[in-house]
C-alpha cells in the first residue's frame, strides 16, 4: 500500500499552504434584506476587500459620478459605515502564514480599519493634488 499511486500523489501535493499563498483574505458578507443568505469572496489583500465594500455601497446607494471631466464619486462616510454596519454575519478571514491558519476579524475590526483606510487614502490624494497644483505652470502669462 505504500507504493500505491494515490499515496504518492497525496504526499507530493500535501505541501503547506504557506508555500502556495503569500497573502489571502476571505470576505464573508451577509445580505441586508435576507438574513439567512450571504456570500463569500476571496481577495489577495485587505485593501481589495475595502474597495469591494465601497463598490458594493456605491451600487447599493445608487451613487452617480458627479463630474464628466474627472470621473469621481463623493461617498458619504457615515452612510458607508452604516451600510457596513447593517450587513448581517459579516467578517473577514485573514490568512496568517506564520501559524498556517485563518484569523477571524469581526465587523467592528472591519469598520475601524475601513475608517483608517479611508483617512489614509484621502490624505494621500489630497497631498498629490496639492503637489500637482504647486508644480503646475500657468498656461498663459497675463503679466506681460
Q: Where are the domains of the chain?
A: 17-122
- Tell me the H-state helices in the chain: 5-13, 17-20, 46-61, 77-86, 107-135
Q: What does pTM read for this prediction?
A: 0.65
Asked whether the predicted pLDDT for residue 118 surpasses 80, the reply is yes
Question: Above 90 in pLDDT, residue 68?
Answer: no
For residues 135 and 94, the model is more confident at 94
pLDDT band with cut points at 50, 70 and 90 for residue 63: confident
pLDDT band at 41 (very low <50, low <70, confident <90, very high): very high
b/e map 68-89, b = 16+ CB within 10 Å: eeeeeeeeeeeebbebbeebee
Q: In what side-by-side order are the strands of the sheet with 38-43? A: 38-43, 25-30, 91-96, 101-105
Mean pLDDT for the stretch of residues 2-30? 53
Protein fold of 17-122 = ERH-like fold (3.30.2260)
Amino acid at each position: 500500500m505504500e507504493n500505491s499511486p494515490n499515496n504518492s500523489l497525496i504526499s507530493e501535493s500535501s505541501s503547506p499552504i504557506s508555500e502556495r499563498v503569500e497573502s489571502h483574505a476571505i470576505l464573508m458578507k451577509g445580505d441586508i434584506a435576507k438574513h439567512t443568505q450571504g456570500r463569500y469572496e476571496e481577495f489577495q489583500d485587505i485593501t481589495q476587500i475595502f474597495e469591494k465594500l465601497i463598490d458594493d455601497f456605491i451600487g447599493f446607494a445608487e451613487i452617480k459620478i458627479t463630474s464628466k471631466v474627472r470621473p469621481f464619486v463623493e461617498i458619504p462616510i457615515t452612510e458607508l459605515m452604516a451600510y457596513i454596519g447593517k450587513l448581517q454575519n459579516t467578517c473577514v478571514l485573514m490568512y496568517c502564514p506564520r501559524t498556517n491558519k485563518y484569523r477571524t476579524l469581526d465587523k467592528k475590526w472591519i469598520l475601524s480599519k475601513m475608517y483608517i483606510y479611508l483617512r489614509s487614502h484621502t490624505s494621500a490624494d489630497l497631498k498629490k493634488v496639492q503637489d500637482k497644483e504647486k508644480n503646475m505652470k500657468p498656461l498663459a502669462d497675463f503679466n506681460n
